[in-house]
Every structure is written in C-alpha cells, then in structure tokens.
Amino acid sequence: MSVKIRKSLVASALVGAAALASNNVMADPLNDLHKAGATIQTAAKKSQTKIDNIYGQTQELIADYRSTVDETEIMKVYNDHVQRLVDDQNSQIESLERQIAGIDKTKQNVVPLMYRMIDTLEQFIKADVPFDTEERMERIEKLRDIMTSASVTTSEKFRQVLEAYMVEKDYSTTMVANQGSLNIDGRDISVDFARLGRIAYVAQSFDQKSAWVWNNTTKQWEALGDEFLKPIKETIRMARKQAAPDLVKLPIFGAE
C-alpha cells in the first residue's frame, strides 16, 4: 500500500510540475504580446504626434503661401498703377520739353517783333498830333531800355510794349485840356489846349480873343475865326469837367 501511495504522490507531483511548467510557458508569450502592443501604441502615438505637427506646419506653410500670393497680386496691381503714373509723367515731361523748345523758338521770333513794334510806335507818335509828345517819347525810350535789360523777362517786355500800344489807343477816346504856350509869329502866347481824341486839337489864348487849330497835314497851328471862340471855350470847360458834355462846332481836317 505505501509503495502505491508514494508512486501516486510522485505522479501527482510530476503532473503538477508539468502543469506549472505549462502555465509558465504560456504566460511568457502573452507578456511579450502586451509589451509589443504597448510599444506599438507608444510608437503610434509618437507617429501621430509627428503627423499632427507636420500637418500643422503644412497648414502654416499653405497660409503663408496664400498670403504671399495675395501680397504678390496686390504688389503686381500696385506696380502696374505706379508704372502707369511713371508713363504719364514721362509723357508730360516730353510735352513740357517740346513746349520749352517751342518757347525758345517763339522768343527768337518775338524779340525782333517787339523791336519792330517799338520802331513803328515811335514813327506813329512823330507823325501824330503833337500832344504830350515828350511823355510819349519817354515811354518809347523806356521800352528800348528794358529790351536790353537782362533782369526783365521776355514776357514782361512784351507786356510793356502792348501796354504802350494800349495807351496810344486810349488817346483816341479821351477829351483833355491843359495849359501851355504857342509860338505864333515869333511871340510866345499862353494858351489853353483842348484835345478831342485825335479828331481835333485846338488852342485858345487866356484872354479868349484868339484861337488856333493844329493842321496835322501841314504840321502847324492855323488861326481860327471868331465863330470858333465860344465853341472852343465850351470844349475846354467840358474837358475840365466844368460843363456837361454837349455838341460843339469844332474845325476838323479830313483824311487825305
């Protein structure tokens, strides 16, 4: 009996040992699988993190690219605008250069014209009725002086020449009276002068007993009859604003 029990115990012990060994053998692969799974998950997390980072960087790059493209389009539009401005300015510069060249050419033509105008005006004054002759000739000399002055611009010279012409033109529409003297037959006689435009230029002695009219054809003063004494007196008064304008009878020489 005892021998059988011991064999049974030995057999049980062997079976238990075998079972324990079998459990240990099965436990090691599971642990390995768990460890491998954990490693894979950790690696997957790291990979996902990298992917997320790369995606975020990619989105930033895309945003930067789009911003750069937008800025490039804006700069292109602005550059086109600036180029149009530059082209327009260049066109204006070319136009101004042509105008300046034209002005220089115009100056070359205007300067001789002004000299001719001054000469013509001087000849006209010498041939005209001799009123304010000294003042009018001084104006001609002033024009000649400014023509040789470097400090006076060409435009200002031309303006003053035109102004002298306007003054001469205005003489034709004015009625004026002043005092002076006439040399008649070697005698200086104090007289009142009266001028009605360029139509009539008359004189009357202070005692109002003698009167004369300028004959621009003969270039001399001619005596008038007594019938002109009163009209000339009235003309002098009207010229001095001492009488209202009225019709008067004056001697007039017609053009030949």
Confidence category of residue 190, pLDDT binned at 50, 70, 90: very high
Spatial contact of 192 and 236, defined as CB atoms under 8 Å apart: yes
Mean pLDDT of 228-236: 95
Mean pLDDT of 105-118: 87
Reported in sequence order, the residue ranges of 163-237 that DSSP labels E, i.e. its strands, are 175-184, 187-196, 200-205, 211-215, 220-223
Whether the predicted pLDDT of 112 surpasses 70: yes
C-alpha 193/C-alpha 180 separation (Å) is 7
Which tokens sit at 148?
């040789």
C-alpha 46/C-alpha 139 separation (Å) is 105
* pLDDT given at position 10: 44
Digit-coded pLDDT (tens) for 16-60: 444 444 444 445 666 766 676 677 778 778 778 878 788 788 888
* pLDDT given at position 195: 95
Whether the predicted pLDDT of 100 surpasses 90: no
* Mean residue pLDDT across the chain: 83
C-alpha 189/C-alpha 205 separation (Å) is 7
Mean pLDDT of 103-115: 82
Digit-coded pLDDT (tens) for 149-179: 999 998 899 999 999 999 999 999 999 999 9
Whether the predicted pLDDT of 199 surpasses 80: yes
Residues 6+ apart with CB under 8 A from 235: 175, 177, 194, 196, 200, 202, 248, 250
Instruction: Using a pLDDT cut of 90, give the percent of the chain over it.
Output: 50
- CB atoms under 10 Å from CB of 197, counted, come to 14
Can you say how many angstroms the Cα of residue 190 is from the centroid of all Cα atoms in its chain?
Answer: 59
* pLDDT given at position 87: 87
